[in-house]
A and B are shown apart, each in its own frame.
Chain A
Amino acid sequence: MQHFSMKYPNIERKSPMSIDLEKILRPVDSPMPLYPPKYMTLASGETMVVRQVGREEIPQILPHVEPLIHVERDFYNIVAARVYAELLGYYCHRVQDEYVLVAQVNGELAAVVNGRMVSKDVGMSYHTLALKRGERIGAHAFAAKMEYHMDILGQKEVLIVAESPIGFRRWMIEYKLEKRFEIPHELGGPPSWALTRELFDAARDTLLVGRRPVPEAALAKAKAGILPPIDPPTPAADFLAATRSQYDSTGTALLPPGKTAQKPKRSE
Chain B
Amino acid sequence: MREVYVAGIGITSFTRLEYPLVEIAAYPAMMALQDSGLKKVDHVFVANMASGRINHQTGLASAVVDNLSLTPAGAETIENGPASGASAIKAGFMAVASGLHDVVLVTGAERLREVNNLDATDAVATLTHPLAEYIYGVTLPSLAGMFTRLYMKKYGVTSRHLAMVAVKNHDNAMLNPFAHIHQKITLEGIIDSPEAMTNNPMVADPIRFFDCCPVSDGAACLILTTKEVAQKSGHPLVRLAGVGQATDTHAVHDREDPTELLAVRGAAAQAFKMAGVKPSDVDVAELHDAFTILEIVESEEVGFFKKGEGHLALERGETRLGGRIPINTSGGLKAKGHPVGATGVGQAHEIVQQLRGEAGKRQVKDAKTGFTCNFGGFGNNVVCLTFVREG
B18 touches A41 (CB 8 A): no
Tell me how far the C-beta of B56 lies from the nearest C-beta in chain A, rounded to whole angstroms: 15
B186 touches A209 (CB 8 A): no
B186 touches A43 (CB 8 A): yes
A228 in the interface, Cβ–Cβ < 8 Å? Answer: no
Map CB proximity to A onto B191-215 as digits: 1 under 8 Å, 0 otherwise: 0011111111100000000100000
Assuming the A-B contacts A40-B195, A42-B199, A209-B194, are A236 and B189 also in contact, with contact meaning beta carbons closer than 8 angstroms in the complex?
no
A residues within 8 A CB of B194? 40-41, 209, 211
A221 in the interface, Cβ–Cβ < 8 Å? Answer: no
Assuming the A-B contacts A43-B210, A44-B189, A239-B12, are A256 and B69 also in contact, with contact meaning beta carbons closer than 8 angstroms in the complex?
yes
A44 touches B198 (CB 8 A): no
For A41, A135, A237, which residue has the most chain B Cβ atoms within 10 angstroms? A41
For A42, A140, A208, A210, which residue has the most chain B Cβ atoms within 10 angstroms? A42
B17 touches A41 (CB 8 A): no
Docked pose: A253 CA to B67 CA in angstroms: 5
Interface residues of B in 1-36 (CB under 8 A from A): 12-13, 15-20, 22-24, 26-27, 30
Docked pose: A247 CA to B69 CA in angstroms: 11
B27 touches A254 (CB 8 A): no
Docked pose: A236 CA to B19 CA in angstroms: 12
A residues within 8 A CB of B184? 44-45
Docked pose: A243 CA to B68 CA in angstroms: 11
A58 in the interface, Cβ–Cβ < 8 Å? Answer: no
B12 touches A41 (CB 8 A): no
Tell me how far the C-beta of B228 lies from the nearest C-beta in chain A, rounded to whole angstroms: 24
Docked pose: A252 CA to B69 CA in angstroms: 11
A209 touches B69 (CB 8 A): no
Interface residues of A in 223-246 (CB under 8 A from B): 236-237, 239-240, 243-244, 246
A252 touches B199 (CB 8 A): no
Docked pose: A207 CA to B198 CA in angstroms: 6
Docked pose: A91 CA to B20 CA in angstroms: 46
Assuming the A-B contacts A207-B198, A253-B67, are A43 and B23 also in contact, with contact meaning beta carbons closer than 8 angstroms in the complex?
no
Q: Chain A: interface residue count, which band?
A: 20 to 34
Tell me how far the C-beta of B141 lies from the nearest C-beta in chain A, rounded to whole angstroms: 17
B residues within 8 A CB of A45? 184-189, 193
B67 touches A254 (CB 8 A): yes
A41 touches B193 (CB 8 A): yes
Assuming the A-B contacts A239-B12, A243-B26, are A43 and B19 also in contact, with contact meaning beta carbons closer than 8 angstroms in the complex?
no
A43 touches B26 (CB 8 A): no
Docked pose: A42 CA to B13 CA in angstroms: 26
A2 in the interface, Cβ–Cβ < 8 Å? Answer: no
A interface: dominant SS: loop
Map CB proximity to B onto A154-193 as digits: 1 under 8 Å, 0 otherwise: 0000000000010000000000000000000000000000
B residues within 8 A CB of A165? 116
Interface residues of A in 139-163 (CB under 8 A from B): 140
Map CB proximity to B onto A130-143 as digits: 1 under 8 Å, 0 otherwise: 00001110001000
Which of A40, A44, A240 meets B19, CB within 8 Å?
A240
Closest-by-CB residue of A relative to B19 is A240
A267 in the interface, Cβ–Cβ < 8 Å? Answer: no
A262 in the interface, Cβ–Cβ < 8 Å? Answer: no
A5 in the interface, Cβ–Cβ < 8 Å? Answer: no
B69 touches A240 (CB 8 A): no
Docked pose: A42 CA to B30 CA in angstroms: 40
A206 in the interface, Cβ–Cβ < 8 Å? Answer: yes
A residues within 8 A CB of B12? 239-240
A44 touches B185 (CB 8 A): yes
B residues within 8 A CB of A236? 16, 18
B190 in the interface, Cβ–Cβ < 8 Å? Answer: yes
Docked pose: A117 CA to B358 CA in angstroms: 58
Tell me how far the C-beta of A173 lies from the nearest C-beta in chain B, rounded to whole angstroms: 10
Docked pose: A90 CA to B292 CA in angstroms: 47
A134 touches B183 (CB 8 A): yes
B residues within 8 A CB of A43? 183, 185-186, 189-190, 196, 199-200, 210
Tell me how far the C-beta of B119 lies from the nearest C-beta in chain A, rounded to whole angstroms: 13
B residues within 8 A CB of A207? 198
B66 in the interface, Cβ–Cβ < 8 Å? Answer: yes
Map CB proximity to B onto A252-265 as digits: 1 under 8 Å, 0 otherwise: 11101000000000
A252 touches B27 (CB 8 A): no
A209 touches B195 (CB 8 A): yes
B210 touches A240 (CB 8 A): no
Docked pose: A247 CA to B17 CA in angstroms: 17
B197 touches A206 (CB 8 A): yes
For A40, A42, A43, A45, which residue has the most chain B Cβ atoms within 10 angstroms? A43
Which residues of A approach B to under 8 Å, CB–CB?
A: 40-46, 134-136, 140, 165, 206-211, 236-237, 239-240, 243-244, 246-247, 251-254, 256
Which 6 interchain pairs have the tightest Cβ spacing?
A45-B186, A41-B193, A43-B189, A209-B195, A43-B199, A45-B189
Given contacts A43-B190, A209-B198, 11 further A-B contacts (CB under 8 A): A43-B189, A44-B185, A45-B186, A45-B189, A140-B198, A208-B198, A237-B13, A240-B27, A243-B30, A254-B67, A254-B68
